[in-house]
A and B are shown apart, each in its own frame.
Chain A
């Protein structure tokens, strides 16, 4: 028994130390960094500034813009992915024929990397791109091309649409797995009662997959807050920081302006917001 006790530690230790060195140590170190003023150009010169970096975060107008943008992105893309993902899963679950090929099609965007997806969307929505060609020269909806990517509201909509396009397949797959576990007898007895499709969804399906919906919602909200690559590649946060989200702003502070201490404070603020948000969702879910 004693020997076994040591084997446990021996199996654990190499991996755990590796994990601590590259994940936990940076996490703690980052907290310290956020109390210092130091620049990427001179990493060894650090000045303790207390809470000043956090005070700067509160006073930083672009921080608030980035927070607003991420909330808008979440409010569009999370329900978009959930609702469409559920509808597709429900439709595919009902029909057996050809559902496999549909599932493949809907899932392909999930397999497409963020970089490639962002480049495709950039090309479609760019001034001389496919969409402008369609609406001006083919359908004659407008006289002049629309600048989809240089106006903040339009650019954010395009990026939210990219989020939905790329995420529906994931939500669909999770919902499909859950739908297959809903007992068929429930639907049969509802059929006997003469319930219509909407009533069945409302009173049988949705309550049975409550846990899955909660899981999908949490994962998608965390995912939305982590959006980076699409903004970074499509608008770079511009024009004049109007489409910045928290991670792109943190990144540009750190690696364009070299302001590491301040960027650390930004990243901790960001992580705290996600933690609080997740905590609140768990609380609400428990109450229900």
Chain B
């Protein structure tokens, strides 16, 4: 009886796991199909003559190397703004008393539930007025600002767990609050930064509607809009579409496989604190 139960569970789990990864395998196998075979009906499940032709074409003539670079650049720049601002804000909320502390913190927390797409019109007008339309900065500022509420909340929660006795001893030694922040609090908070970085990378790396709206110059495209526009233009070149898709998801998948523990920490961070 126990054996039967275990076997059924294992079979059910395996079927579920196959459904979970099958579409991804299908994407890989299509990307490896020679272009001439793609138009054939029936479509092949596994390529009979696998080739890297689609990858080479996506990388060179379809400029996916440029798009990958754009995505990396935008994500990194967003992180600079996001983490400088979020960590200083979290430090202020965790360590100091000042007028308007509760009010401003409530505003930030309320912003957690704003669906980001509902702000697309006023943000579009604002970015235009600032002269940032069709520029990386238009992406960077909006991505960073959108991620500030959650990241500040997460970091403040961690800073709060660091004992305030440390503050006292730094001040006693004549150290400033900046010193406390940079040489004590930040280094001690690595366990909070790793999941925060991963969580935000998942959202910023794949952001689609905002980039689609404000990026016009084909050479400034990030990976998600490059894929969507490429697919829209050449509906039949699925091999290249999926080769490009792999270029877009592989960095995250590789990172995930090596840093699985932190991914899960990033995902559950909200649940535990929330």
Contacts and interface: CB of A to CB of B under 8 A. Distances in A.
B117 A169 contact: no
Contacts of A16: 89, 104, 108
B125 A43 contact: yes
A157 interface: no
Given A173-B267, A264-B121, A133 B43 contact: yes
B197 interface: no
Contact of B85 (A18, A102, A215, A228): A18
A103 B256 CA distance: 12
Interface stretch (A52-60, A118-126, A186-194): A118-126
Interface residues of A, number: 92
Given A104-B260, A123-B30, A12 B213 contact: no
Nearest to B17: A105
B104 A108 contact: no
Interface stretch (B48-56, B58-66, B202-210): B202-210
Contacts of A198: none
A137 B40 CA distance: 14
Given A11-B177, A271-B118, A177 B271 contact: yes
A268 B118 contact: yes
Interface string B65-97: 000000000000000010011101101110111
Contacts of A122: 231
Contacts of A229: 208-209
Contacts, number: 270
Contact of B122 (A26, A138, A251): A26
Interface residues of B, number: 94
B187 interface: no
Interface stretch (A27-35, A61-69, A74-82, A146-154): A27-35
A133 B26 CA distance: 14
Contacts of A11: 88-89, 91-92, 96, 177, 181
B194 interface: no
Interface string B103-134: 01001100101110111111111101000000
Given A12-B89, A22-B123, A5 B97 contact: yes
Contact of A263 (B121, B145, B148, B260): B121
A104 to B, nearest CB: 7
Contacts of B43: 128-130, 133
Chain A contact residues: over half helix, strand or loop, or mixed?
A: helix
Given A91-B9, A119-B227, A222-B115, A15 B241 contact: no
Interface in A121-175: 121-124, 128-130, 133, 137-138, 165, 168-170, 173-174
B228 interface: yes
B205 A254 contact: no
B241 to A, nearest CB: 6
B194 to A, nearest CB: 16
A165 B231 CA distance: 22
A226 interface: yes
Contact of A5 (B27, B96, B152): B96
Interface of A: 4-5, 7-9, 11-12, 14-16, 18-19, 21-27, 29-30, 33, 43, 84, 88, 91-92, 94-95, 102-117, 119-124, 128-130, 133, 137-138, 165, 168-170, 173-174, 177-178, 197, 212, 215-216, 219, 222, 225-226, 228-229, 232-233, 247, 250-251, 254-255, 260, 263-264, 267-268, 270-271, 274-275, 278
26 contacts: A7-B178, A8-B98, A12-B93, A15-B84, A22-B126, A25-B122, A25-B126, A104-B260, A108-B256, A112-B24, A115-B248, A120-B26, A120-B242, A121-B23, A122-B231, A123-B238, A138-B42, A165-B19, A168-B16, A168-B20, A173-B267, A177-B268, A226-B115, A247-B118, A267-B117, A271-B118
Q: Which 4 A-B pairs have the closest CB atoms?
A: A8-B96, A15-B85, A113-B206, A22-B145
